[in-house]
Amino acid sequence: MSSALDEAIEAVIVGGVSVRQAAENFEIGRTTLHRHLEKRDIGPPGRRTKFMAEEELVICDLLLRCAEIGIPLSKFHLKKSSTDYARTRRCLIKPSLMDGTERS
């Protein structure tokens, strides 16, 4: 099943319809259609995620366990727990410490 955007792109490329006309016909933004025509490997909308899907599940499990035993977590605690998890899993160290030299 193709989306309106895919159909609009096909109309422009195969059917020779103008970008403006295809945007109107398929009710999508002209600049969106133009951007997708210029760069086909755009990817999913939004920012890149900080964690992989498996890591997000680990963090979600932690939050659910805390909720089950009655430990409330504020936004601060969530950020701290996530940061601590990232540091332990990814060994987040300053680049200057990785090669053994300290830079000022």
List strand residue ranges (DSSP E) for 1-104, in order.
Answer: none
Cα dihedral 7, 8, 11, 16 in deg (nearest 10)? -170
| Residue 9 to residue 16: CA distance in whole angstroms | 10
The pLDDT profile of the chain, 104 residues, written as one tens digit per residue, is 358 988 999 999 998 999 999 999 999 999 989 888 887 666 677 777 778 888 888 888 988 898 899 988 888 988 888 888 888 876 544 443 334 444 44
**CA atoms lying within 13 Å on the CB side of residue 61:** 7
**How high is the pLDDT of residue 39?**
78
